[in-house]
Amino acid sequence: MEILLVIIIGLLYAAGIYMILRRSLVKLIIGLILLGNGANLLIFLLGRIVKGHPPIIGSTEKALADIYADPLPQALILTAIVISFGLQAFAIILVKRAYKVVKTDDLDEMNATDEDI
Amino acid sequence: MLLAILAGFILALFMPSLIKGLKGKSTIAVALLPFSLFVYFISFLPRISAGETIEFHWDWVPSLGVGMDFYLDGLSLLFTLLITGIGTLVFVYTSSYLKGHQYLDRFYAYLSMFMGSMLGVVMADNIITLFIFWELTSISSFFLIGFNNDSEPSRKSALTALGITGFGGLFLLAGMVTLGFITEEFQISSLSAMSGEIHAHELYPWVIGLVFIGAFTKSAQFPFHFWLPGAMKAPTPVSTYLHSATMVKAGIYLLARFTPVLGNHPWWNTTLIIIGGITMLYAALHAIFRLDLKGILAYSTISALGILTFLIGLGTTAALTAAAVFILVHALYKATLFLITGIIDHETGTRDVSKLAGLNKVMLPVGIAGLLAAVSNAGIPPTFGFVGKDLIYEATLHFDSMAWVLTGAAIITNVALLFAGFLAGIKPFAGKLPKAYAKVHLPPAAMWVPPMILAVLGMLFGMIPPLVDGPLIKPIVSALTLRTPDFHLHLWHGFNVVLALSVATIATGIALYFFIKPSEALLGRATRFEAISPHSLVRGLGRGVTWFSEKWTNFLQNGYLRYYLITILSFLTLLLAYRLFLGVEIYVDASTLSEITIYEAIIVTIMASAIIFTVFTKSRLAAVAAMGVVGYSFCLIFLFYSAPDLAMTQFSIDTLTVILFVLVIYNLPKYLNLSETRDRIRDGLLALVFGALISVLTLEVLNETVEKDISTYYAEQAYLLGKGKNVVNVILVDFRGFDTMVEITVLAIAALGVFSLLKLRLKSIEKE
Amino acid sequence: MKTIIFRTASDYLLPLLLLFSVFILLRGHYLPGGGFVGGLIASIAFVIHSFANGLEKTRNIIKFHPGFLMPIGLVFAIGAGAAPWIVGQPFMSGLWFDDPFPVIGMVGSALFFDTGVYLVVIGVSLTIIFTISETL
């Protein structure tokens, strides 16, 4: 299974980077989201994946017993997911706003508008 | 004492509002600050004369040995009195010179900031503190030189001055740190006891070399002298204050201060004699040919600084005494001459010495001050300058080797300086008044009284040497030589060689003054060699750096986001690929892998197709929907692999993101294909290679064993310390609660950003 | 989207989902859940309601601008972090009541902190989505 996830990670990175390199702003945002997902999965995988043992202490126990999924990457990813929502919302609105003002979403044309506004 | 030093900075802060409050009236009141400081410092005079030193300690960064330690001995006292005394006069003078100037507030703020830093330099007892104040003087002088910030030459000179002195400052820092490294002692006052140890250390040449560069750049010694004439673009009060009386003497102060520590070594003495000698001759000869009054004064100042370096280099008691006296002499007459130049410039509008004459008829008091200063500069008895010059000849004549060469150099310099002083102090006032200046009138008292005070003091000290001898000069000499001096300053030494030399100097100088008339032709001859001067070299270097950085920046900073990304990614890819190529073993340990169930295979296939679909679809909505699919598949993967919290969060976030996209999608630009096919292939290749590298890297990392100390700690302590059983949640709200708090703050900021971006009216644009 | 079925369903869904979100929040310390997820579920509940009934109606239910939930939540979180100061312990150390409360279970500073997170998350998501729908 790890192999498949590794392939997905590579695919997410490749897709994300390809989208970021486009000239359209919307594609840029989609690329960012894909990259973020790829990074999350990477962290998740590097914490090693374990089936069926969530990091939750049993009702009768006081600490996690022998096999359990690593709680640390999970906490990190949870934070990352929520933060990336804030980032995406902001980026989308920024694009929308910029589009309204400069009437283009071509990054190359935005380059030249510095002086005009 | 700390307050006295910091007063300048504190007042600089309030200066703008203060000046605005005064509304252009009675701005002269600002001079109360330097004056009160002057009175404060002069109150130490009796104690210092009695041989005491005053110390002040305040730990600042004790771990680095940096403290706000201050120290007042004879040498410091002389400088503090010069700084605050001349400062008072300059403050008064400025109130009239820049009357009604738009930025007078700023000017005073810079000026008091400078005064504070300068006081810090001359009183600092800690070598790091010394450096900090040293750099502060450079910075404040940058603002002062570039005060006329709408003129390009002014800005350029300010930049040159900052470049040279700042550059020197760094060398000084290196020198100081090396010194601290050798001795592990940062108190200047304790260093002199270790003189022998320092001399013997193998780093000694480095220390003096670095300190020399610091001092020479600041005090405009050859070959770093060229910033000083350029700095004359500054308003005259600045030239007076910084470039004759105080700041340029900081280098001299540094050399003098470190004489007991680093001096008395052949390398120290020889270097200083040679550099000082070259500077004093070179600059003195240059001064003769200048037409601009300020140019003349600038070069004669450099020459005087050369003399001081030269005297410190000689290092004998007589030479150090001469240096101490000459610092005072020079400050008095040169400040006077500068102030007078300012008056002439202010009233007539020119500083061209070949055009000026006869101003005595319209501004007699200024003329008198000029005459007194020129005479003191010339060293004609009974001025203080005569005392100073005698001491210089004494020092050179009684030097062990090459006494006559050194004396000869001193004589030539003095002749040229006398000539320059006459040009600046007498020439504009003597002779017939040209018609053009007939309507020129005497400036307000605030302008002519300060130079007069200085000039009269120069005369007074000459006639009654004991005024300064015991109280000031002796403590200085004892601070420099660490011995109690056994001499007295005299105006009259009787008929001897020194007197004969003095007479010869004065006679030659006066003769020169009557024979050489300053003219364009002479100036042209003197400036012919500019092309190979250090100044041109530095300018060329500066231009080269600008040219190169422009090309380089345009190449790398081209303004296209994707090219930046391509550069970064290609570099990263190359680096990674190179490392992998170097023979990292790539293998997959099948035994550690988990098996693939049919559900997982399906999910992964769906994900992969969704990702590919996102990239290639032509519809925005389809892309968003495909992204949603990717997100929900993620959810399932998290669920399979024991991360229920993540699955829930991912699910909710994904829902919200899709809603968000759907809400704005019709307001978003059309999904165009802007790039050319060639670009797409290039980007695709780069992306694929990078993705593949990440995959390989991940596989490699999976082969390593993981350290799980932190996770284990959390897993074991979650219930015991955090009283929770969901370890992920305990980490978020308890163990790393602080991070979470910052995170929700960031979220709130993002929401506020969205809110304000949308509610904000981009007025000019939306009205159209 | 404004079908009668959806509208009717959403009227019941809103309180149910809100209750569910609080449940998720409270159990977070022991079972999967917590402030982040709870807050997101609550905001989804409001978003669904607004889809069915229009933004104005949802606005009327909440009565105040959801943006105010952000500072309130932050105060909760900081307060929970600062509370240990009162009893002389360092910032952010966990404080717990000795006995469990009925229904809620164990109550401690971590729960208040999580409630703060919950409120901020609701505030943030609703502010973003409401602002966007308003200005379209």
Domain ranges of chain C: 4-135
Interface test with B, best of A5, A21, A61, A95 (most B CBs within 10 A): A21
Q: Which residues of B touch A51 (CB under 8 A)?
A: 594, 640-642
Residue from B489, B481, B319 nearest B397 by CA? B319
Same domain, yes or no, for B280 and B208? yes
Same domain as B632, residue B492: no
Q: Note the ipTM here.
A: 0.89
Total of domains in chain B:
2
| Cβ separation B611–A105 shorter than 8 A | no
Alpha helices in A21-66 (DSSP H): 25-46
C-beta atoms surrounding B305 within 10 Å: 29
Q: Which amino acid is located at B178 in the chain?
A: T
- pLDDT at res. B101: 73
Which residue intervals of B349-398 are DSSP H helices? 364-378, 384-397
Q: Which of residues 75-104 of A touch B (CB under 8 A)?
A: 75, 77-79, 81-90, 92-97, 99-101, 104
Query: What is the residue range of B307's domain?
Result: 142-540
User: C interface mutation test: which of A78, A84, A85 has the most C CBs within 10 A?
Assistant: A85
Q: Residue A9 has what pLDDT?
A: 92
Chains that contact C by 3+ CB pairs under 8 Å?
Answer: A, B
pLDDT tens-digit series, residues B71-124: 888 888 888 888 888 888 888 888 888 777 777 778 888 888 888 888 888 888
Does a structural domain hold residue B126? Answer: no
Q: Which residues of C touch B750 (CB under 8 A)?
A: 124, 128
Asked if A94 reaches chain C (Cβ–Cβ under 8 Å), the answer is no
> In B534-676, which residue ranges form alpha helices assigned H by DSSP?
534-556, 561-581, 598-616, 620-640, 644-664
Question: B196-245, pLDDT tens digit by residue?
Answer: 888 888 888 888 888 888 888 888 887 777 778 777 777 888 888 877 77
* Close Cβ partners of B116 (under 8 Å, ≥ 6 residues apart): B5, B6, B7, B8, B9, B12, B136
What local confidence, expressed as pLDDT, does residue A115 receive? 45
Report how far residue B477's alpha carbon sits from residue B489's, in angstroms, rounded to the nearest whole number: 12
Same-domain pairing of B502 and B637: no
In this prediction, residue A14 carries a pLDDT of: 93
User: Does residue C36 sit at the A interface (CB-CB below 8 Å)?
Assistant: yes
Residues of A within 8 A of C110 (CB-CB) are none
* Portion of chain C with pLDDT greater than 70, in percent: 83
Is the pLDDT confidence value at A113 over 70? Answer: no
Q: Is the pLDDT of residue A13 over 80?
A: yes
Q: Is C112 on the interface with A (CB under 8 A)?
A: no
Per CB-CB distance under 8 Å, the chain A contacts of C125 are 85
Q: Which of chain A's residues have a Cβ under 8 Å away from the Cβ of C128?
A: 89, 93
Higher pLDDT pick, B106 / C125? C125
Least confident among A62-71, B214-223, C28-37: A62-71
Q: Helices then strands (H, E): number in chain C?
A: 5, 0
| Contact in structure between A50 and B641 (CB atoms under 8 Å) | yes
Classify domain A2-54+67-112 by CATH number: 1.10.287.3510
Give the neighbours of chain B: at least 3 Cβ pairs within 8 Å.
A, C
Contacts of C71 in chain B (CB under 8 A): 748
Residues B503 and B624 occupy one common structural domain: no
pLDDT band per the 50, 70, 90 thresholds, residue C136: low
One domain for residues B234 and B297: yes
Report how far residue B260's alpha carbon sits from residue B68's, in angstroms, rounded to the nearest whole number. 22
Interatomic CA distance for residues B174 and B446, integer angstroms: 44
Tell whether A34 is within 8 A of chain B (Cβ). Answer: yes
Q: Mean pLDDT score of chain C, rounded to an integer?
A: 81
Whether B50 is covered by a domain: the verdict is no
Residues 60-79 of C with CB under 8 A from B: 67, 70-71, 73-74, 77-78
Q: Among partner residues A74, A84, A111, which is closest to B643 by beta-carbon distance? A: A74
Q: Which residues of B touch A4 (CB under 8 A)?
A: 596, 600-601, 604
Task: Kindly state the tokens that stand for B471.
Answer: 């109280």
Task: Say if residue B281 is in the same domain as residue B367.
Answer: yes
In a domain, B9, yes or no: no
Single out the residue of C16, C124, C33 nearest to residue B648, CA to CA.
C33
Asked if residue A63 lies in contact with residue B720, where contact means CB atoms within 8 angstroms, the answer is yes
Q: Which of B640, B671, B702 is the last residue of a domain?
A: B671
Chain B partners of A100 at a C-beta cutoff of 8 Å?
Answer: 667
- C-alpha distance from residue C77 to each of B542, C20, C122 (Å): 55, 22, 14
The partner residue sitting opposite B594, judged by closest CB among A2, A7, A16, is A2
Task: Give residue C83's region: left, alpha or beta (phi > 0; psi -120 to 50).
Answer: alpha
Give the chain C residue whose CA is nearest to the CA of A100.
C136
| pLDDT tens per residue, range B601-656 | 898 899 999 999 888 888 888 888 898 999 999 899 888 888 888 898 899 888 88
